Amino acid sequence: MGTPECVTHEHEVLLIGAGGAGLRAAIEAASTGVNVGVVCKSLLGKAHTVMAEGGMAASMGNVDDRDNWRVHFSDTMRGGQYLNNWRMAQVHAQQAADRVRELEAWGAIFDRTRDGKILQRNFGGHKYPRLAHVGDRTGLEMIRTLQDHGIHQGIEFYMEYTVLEILMDGDRVAGAVGYEREKGRFHVWKAPAVVLATGGIGRAFKITSNSWEYTGDGHALAYRAGAELKDMEFVQFHPTGMVWPPSVRGILVTEGVRGEGGVLRNSEGRRFMFDDIPDLYKNQTASDPEEGWRYVTGDKDAQRPPELLTRDHVARCIVREIREGRGSPHGGVFLDIAWIKEKMSKADAHIRKKLPSMYHQFKQLAGVDITKDPMEVGPTTHYAMGGVNVDGETQMSTVNGLFACGEVAAGLHGANRLGGNSLSDLVVFGKLAGEHAVKWAKQNPSPTVDEGQVQAACRAALEPMEREHGESPYEVQASLQEMMQDKVGIVRTQNEMGEAVESIAALRTKAQNTAVPGNREYNPGWHTSVDLHNLMVVSEAVARSGMDRKESRGAHFREDFPAKDEAHANHNTITKRGPDGEMTVERREIPTMPTELSDIIKEMG
Ligand SMILES: Cc1cc2nc3c(=O)[nH]c(=O)nc-3n(C[C@H](O)[C@H](O)[C@H](O)COP(=O)(O)OP(=O)(O)OC[C@H]3O[C@@H](n4cnc5c(N)ncnc54)[C@H](O)[C@@H]3O)c2cc1C
């Protein structure tokens, strides 16, 4: 193999990822006048954020004026089972409303209340209606707004490029190396500050709501650069994905359906969620639990159906119904929004207005009219709460000059994320990451790029095309996804996760021996072979961290340890630090919460 040629670019701040987090960080950095570059795997405007449906959480109090940042903070901490970075949860709750108003000022058109305020809808785990939304296309509006605003800021965009490695200058970041997906040419971006905004890891599993881009690249890039990953075992399985037909299995059915009144029923027609209301939330005075909307959230005025309990809880109840033979014909349960006709005139038009994407999704992909018939739904891998360990104030990782924001960063959501808290996370922490990346870049300019690191990354990427015979990257990927779904899925045990770690070691050997026909141009097999190395890192991190957490908490459910155990109220930190640079898991204590925050939690009950 000769020496691969590279085109070099220079920026003060480099963003990897152009979803909500990356774009918001880029806008913030560019607003200070520094030279900003954004690299993304897909076309601008196509990041995963565009798929977000239900809305973004912010305690604006437009629908219920009892809402405020303190209630939002408390809900987020409870949803995260108190493993959240409390400082991030505080900043998020305090700043989310300003970020929504900022989007509106930049041109986002949210749904409105009758008196013209931004409308907010109910979502699981939120005490009051809190999700600012645009029908069920909120992510599309967010991306459109940020993109329109961003392209006028002088930001340089590199579309359809994949970053392969972070470049280091000693213990600080020096930039990144990657390639053009269409033509295969290599590029180096020299930059003193790099912000990872690469999204999640859903493609490590077989059934997922996530787009093709979610191969855990940012997590793996950070890990290989020496950064810490935190609480990787917490993978959210959203309770409602499509289950039929097989080609669409996993596609999300937004929680907005339940927020608008959709109910879950089993094959016997029973609302099984009433079987499982935790005592804390039960309306002790209700004689008939199924009568109307009697379930309450601890506040007698804030009534909620049990379908809006936290996602982990609802997902486990659905799995139980399916396992115990009360599922729908294609292995799910029924989600019914059509029933609201009983209490509302013009319900058909209402459903089509509030849930237009869901209406079309089911009509076109499954031949089901959701204004008339129930949907079949089941859990789907949705969101990574774990990720790059960042400082709650600056979003810098444990590597100097390497920042992370959005889904790739850990902290805000703890052991489980509340719906709607991701979109607000992106803009709150995207802004902060951009601001602090600029500060770092100004104080630490001009890193040196090591040509040896660049060449090593390019050569490693080209290896699959140099081999005449070897493994198929598609087969390795499919085996990994199947295995992860089976052994590290929604219900976990020590033995199965141990088997997963062994399988990953075997699959990694295969991933290192893939053979890809063709050349660098337009070669999807090559892209898949590159992704595999990242998928192996995140899969191993989830399995190892999961083995270490011998309790059930939030999204991590262990059949062999079904209870929460305060001895495990800590963080699991993953580093590449073993004697041979292998993955190690270390437990860290949760920093003590300041009294003013713990008082809020006590006050909220
Ligand atoms: C169907 C669906 C509906 C959802 N609905 C909601 C909702 O209503 N409310 C809510 O709060 N959350 C929702 N979520 C979650 C939310 O959409 C995501 O968590 C969020 O959009 C992630 O944004 P991000 O900016 O972190 O990453 P993304 O938007 O995914 O952007 C990642 C970017 O990184 C780039 N990238 C990745 N790897 C590389 C690489 N190696 N090199 C270069 N670029 C790279 C990608 O190309 C992309 O530009 C939903 C998720 C799904 C799947």
In a domain, 183, yes or no: yes
What confidence tens digit (pLDDT) does each residue in 234-253 have?
999 999 999 999 999 999 99
Instruction: Tell me whether residue 152 is one of the annotated catalytic residues.
Output: no
Q: Has residue 601 been placed in a domain?
A: no
Ligand 1 site, residue 252, Cβ cutoff 6 A: yes
179 and 132 belong to one structural domain? yes
267 and 341 assigned to the same domain? yes
Arithmetic mean of pLDDT over the chain: 93
The Cα 39–Cα 108 span in angstroms is 24
Q: What is the pLDDT of residue 199?
A: 97
**C-alpha 533 – ligand 1 centre gap (Å):** 20
**Residue 344: pLDDT band with limits 50, 70, 90:** confident
- Do 412 and 476 share a structural domain? no
Q: Are 77 and 201 found together in one domain?
A: yes
Q: Is residue 478 part of a domain?
A: yes
Torsion of CA 412, 47, 318, 572, to 10 degrees: -40
C-alpha to C-alpha distance for 61 and 117, rounded to whole angstroms: 10
Q: At which of 352, 381, 410 does a domain end?
A: 381
How far apart are the CA of 72 and the centre of ligand 1, in A? 22
Residues 321 and 355 in one domain: yes
Q: Work out which ligand 1 atom sits closest to the CA atom of 534.
A: 41
Q: How far is the CA of 407 from the centre of ligand 1 (A)?
A: 7
Q: Is residue 447 located within the same domain as residue 496?
A: no
pLDDT digits (tens, 9 = 90+) for 449-505: 999 999 999 999 999 999 999 999 999 999 999 999 999 999 999 999 999 999 999
Structural domain harbouring 321: 238-381
Instruction: Return the pLDDT at 188.
Output: 98
- CATH of residue 17: 3.50.50.60
Our answer to whether residue 238 is catalytic in this structure is yes
For the chain, what is the domain count? 3
- Count of CB atoms within 10 A of residue 63's CB? 17
For the chain, percent of residues with pLDDT exceeding 70: 95
The predicted structure's pLDDT at residue 310: 79
Which of 11, 181, 219, 238 is labelled catalytic?
238
Task: Report yes or no on 583 lying in a domain.
Answer: no
What was the pLDDT predicted at 403? Answer: 98
| 3-state DSSP percent of the chain in helix, strand and coil, to 5 | 40, 20, 40
The tokens describing 13, both together, are: 């701040």
With a cut of 60, say whether residue 301 has pLDDT above it: no
Asked if 306 and 369 sit in the same domain, the reply is yes
User: How many Cα neighbours within 13 Å face the side chain of 154?
Assistant: 11
Q: 2-11, 73-82, 384-393 — which is least confidently predicted?
A: 2-11
Whether 585 is covered by a domain: the verdict is no
Measure 565 CA to ligand 1 centroid, in angstroms. Answer: 32
Best probe residue, ligand 1, of 161, 167, 198 (max atoms within 8 Å of C-beta) = 198
Identify the pLDDT of residue 211: 87
- Percent of the chain surpassing pLDDT 90: 86
Give domain status of residue 586, yes or no.
Answer: no
Residues 258 and 308 both lie in one domain: yes
Q: 588 pLDDT exceeds 80?
A: yes
Q: Do 95 and 156 belong to one domain?
A: yes
Is pLDDT of 87 > 50?
Answer: yes
Do 351 and 291 fall into the same domain?
A: yes
Beta carbons of 530 and 162 less than 8 angstroms apart: yes
Q: Is 428 in the pocket of ligand 1 (CB under 6 A)?
A: no
| pLDDT at residue 282 greater than cutoff 70 | no
Which position among 203, 258, 265, 294 bears the catalytic label? 258
Mean pLDDT is lowest, of 44-48, 344-348, 544-548, 562-566, for 344-348
CATH of the domain at 285: 3.90.700.10
- In the numeric block, which tokens belong to residue 348? 């058909």
Rounded Cα gap, residues 52 and 440, in angstroms? 31
Task: Give the domain-ending residue among 451, 475, 510.
Answer: 451
595 assigned to some structural domain: no
In a shared domain, residues 140 and 209: yes
Closest ligand 1 atom to Cα of 55: 8
Q: What is the CATH number of the domain that holds 487?
A: 1.20.58.100
Is the domain of 37 the same as that of 130? yes
The 3-state DSSP class for residue 586 equals strand
pLDDT at 256: 86
Exposure string (b/e) for 42-60, b if CB count within 10 Å is 16 or more?
bebbbbbbbbbbbbbbbbb
pLDDT at 293: 44
Nearest partner of 549 among 602, 488, 506, 592, judged by Cα: 488
Whether residue 292 is predicted with pLDDT greater than 50 in this model: the reply is no
Q: What is the pLDDT of residues 119-165, one digit of tens each?
A: 999 888 899 999 999 988 999 999 999 999 999 999 999 999 999 99
Does 599 fall in a domain? Answer: no
Report residue 407 as tokens. Answer: 């889904």
Domain boundary among 346, 381, 416: 381
277-304 average pLDDT score: 55
Give CA–CA dist 163/217, Å, rounded. 8
Q: Is 47 in the pocket of ligand 1 (CB under 6 A)?
A: yes
pLDDT value of residue 33: 97
Which H or E run includes 397?
none
Tell me if 55 CB under 6 Å of ligand 1: yes
